Amino acid sequence: MIARYERIREFLGAAVTFLMIGGLGCSAAKVEMQTGAAIEGYEAKVKLVSEAPVEYLKTCLAAAKEIKEFKTEFIRQERLGLFKELKPQEDIIAEYRDEPFSVRFTWRDENSEYRQCTYIHGRDDNKVSLLPRKGLFGLPPEVQKYPAEFAVAFGKARNPITDFGPRRMMERILDRIEKAEAVGGVGIVLRPPTEIGPAKEPCFHLEIRYPEKDEYACKLQDLYINIQTSLPVATYLWLPGKDERCDATLDGLYMYSDLQPNVQLTDANFVIEQIKRKAAKGGREVQTASDVGSDADSGGAASVLPVAE
């Protein structure tokens, strides 16, 4: 991801001079040239970002609040643990709905620690159901149930699953900006538009710098907003360092790629897919994951998980 980010930066540096808040705008023709996409109403959106960036972010929050359910490729990488080690990227298919608040993660990487987890507010005493990829001592993995806060307490994630989603991300960003005003304020720079994520979504790039007295260690944040939908696509958090953007300074990244809104999710989307055993050639047994429901009753979200080795 860092290498991809550096390629984007090199491309942008060769493409155009960066946009500053209150500075010159960039024509829609240049946006189309850079991103390969024609953006309706682009000039008006640039004017809003330039004149009132925080107000623009509030419109992004409002847009996120309109999304009551969605499916997305959620990419996450965080610096975790006692010694704050940058963990590998996680590639997750995430399903979400507002009412009742429900989330299901399906990890796509066969080397990931987990297969799947689900959370539905009000069910199982508000505990997360978690299915590891492998069981102990070669046994089949079993679903475990934990309070949502355990993921943070044991260094498995920066935020609990109850804080998942673009809306909550925008709420955290705006809350931090508001608090920073009391200790020096933030600087917001509008960089050239670019394409972000596996879906290559055309995005505004907002560079946010926080004051030294801000309570968080990272002082630089890159925020990418889909120009067409005003939904946040990705954010990168950077620690101070000799090189501003590199593996050594990356504190966390969160990406909601190809977000599909209003996909009519049902209860079948928020259960753990059951593991079953079947005989393979030579009498050897292997584990497979069975689908829960059909495409018709699960919004097309059911999928077969990888065979456990």
pLDDT over threshold 60, residue 273:
yes
Q: Which two tokens stand for residue 156?
A: 């498995």
Helix (H), strand (E) at residue 150: helix 150-153
Q: Which residues of 194-221 are buried (b: 16+ CB within 10 A; e: fewer)?
A: bbbbeeebbbbbbbbebeeebeeebbbb
| pLDDT score at 266 | 93
Kindly report, residue by residue over 129-148, the tens digit of the pLDDT. Answer: 999 999 888 889 999 999 99
The structure's pTM equals 0.80
Between 184-198, 267-281, 291-305, the lowest mean confidence (pLDDT) is in 291-305
At 48, the pLDDT band (50, 70, 90 cuts) reads confident
Distance CA(109)–CA(155), nearest Å, equals 20
Q: Averaged over 83-89, what is the pLDDT?
A: 94
How are the residues of the chain apportioned to helix, strand and coil, as percentages rounded to the nearest 5? Answer: 25, 35, 40
CB-facing half-sphere around the CA of 189: CA atoms within 13 A: 12
Q: Average pLDDT, whole number, for the chain?
A: 83
| pLDDT score at 275 | 63
What is the percent of the chain with per-residue pLDDT over 70, rounded to a whole number?
A: 76
pLDDT over threshold 60, residue 123:
yes
| pLDDT score at 303 | 31
At 4, the pLDDT band (50, 70, 90 cuts) reads very low
Between 11 and 59, where is the model more confident?
59
Distance CA(177)–CA(69), nearest Å, equals 27
pLDDT over threshold 80, residue 239:
yes
